[in-house]
Amino acid sequence: MRRVRIIGVGPGDPEQVTLEAVAAMRSVAYFVVADKGRDDPLLAAREALLARHVGSARVIAVPDPERDRSAATTGADASYLGAVADWHDARAAAYERAILGHDGDVGFLVWGDPAFYDSTIRIVEKVLARGNADFSWDVIPGVSSLQLLAARHRIVLHEIGQPITVTTARRLRAAVESGADNIVVMLNAHIDLDGLDHWDVWWGANLGTPHERLVGGQVGDVLAELHEARAAVKSAAGWIMDVYLLRRAAHRRDR
């Protein structure tokens, strides 16, 4: 029976790929990679990572199905979840065709760690549920952008004895209103910190890559710098993956 391996490869620095992940990459016959078109820079980044750790690697680039990102599907939860489910179904069908069309074990490369806001595990489950492909599968953890953010800023993500809330930009306001004090925010189509001027923020973009940028300080003092840095990273790299920690002012430590 063939094997599917979902491999966490860290935020972007080839040196932050674990030894377990390197062994997993070297164990498969080929890799299935989503291709978003228009000279997808993330496809090129994956190929560079494979060149560093595997050498010659067979890459099957699968055109990534379009996801409905209209205003009607980005607001209400039911509409958003429905659009994402349709996208996952389309990805599952595309990945199934790639798996059935090629022999041998297959690897999927996941930025960061597959357990944090990534769809690959769910999509592989959907491929199996379709009933046409038979395979075993496993997951190799990776260094996450949350970890690298904390390391770069030399911070702990929470205060002593306090919880961490990890959420998305869509859910940030709900986290604030719920009383969360240490909030890690991922999947940022844009950054809206209006009304949070007295919170502290530690932000990082394209961590572990040559285009890495960091901004930290009180929101009201550094928000303009953050937006400028974000625009500069996206312009220079052609893509942006950013993450940040917000801490309520009442929980600020003396520095």
pLDDT of residue 75: 54
What superfamily in CATH does domain 2-140 come from?
Tetrapyrrole methylase, N-terminal domain (3.40.1010.10)
Instruction: Tell whether the model's pLDDT for residue 38 goes beyond 70.
Output: no
Helices 77-100 and 120-130 pack at an angle, to 10 degrees, of: 60
Return the domain boundaries, the chain. Answer: 2-140, 145-251
Helix H or strand E segment including 94: helix 77-100
What superfamily in CATH does domain 145-251 come from?
Tetrapyrrole methylase, C-terminal domain (3.30.950.10)
Q: Which of 71-80, 126-135, 222-231 has the lowest mean pLDDT?
A: 71-80
- 163-170 contacts at long range (C-beta below 8 A, 24 or more positions apart): 166/116, 168/117, 170/74, 170/80
What is the rounded distance in angstroms from the CA atom of residue 34 to the CA atom of residue 94? 9
Helix H or strand E segment including 53: helix 41-53
Q: pLDDT tens digits, residue range 92-112?
A: 999 999 999 999 999 999 999
Q: pLDDT tens digits, residue range 42-82?
A: 777 888 889 999 998 999 989 888 776 664 445 557 788 88
Q: pLDDT tens digits, residue range 16-30?
A: 999 999 999 999 999
Q: Token pair for residue 192?
A: 């809206």
Residue 104 DSSP class = S
pLDDT of residue 97: 96
Instruction: Tell whether the model's pLDDT for residue 7 goes beyond 80.
Output: yes
Helix H or strand E segment including 215: strand 213-218
Q: pLDDT tens digits, residue range 169-199?
A: 999 999 999 999 999 999 999 999 999 999 9
Average pLDDT over residues 126-133: 95
What is the strand order of the sheet 59-63 is part of?
A: 59-63, 30-35, 106-110, 2-8, 135-140
Instruction: Tell whether the model's pLDDT for residue 165 goes beyond 90.
Output: yes
pLDDT band at 39 (very low <50, low <70, confident <90, very high): low
Phi, psi at 172, each rounded to 5°? -60, -50
What is the rounded distance in angstroms from the CA atom of residue 93 to the CA atom of residue 91? 5
pLDDT of residue 83: 86
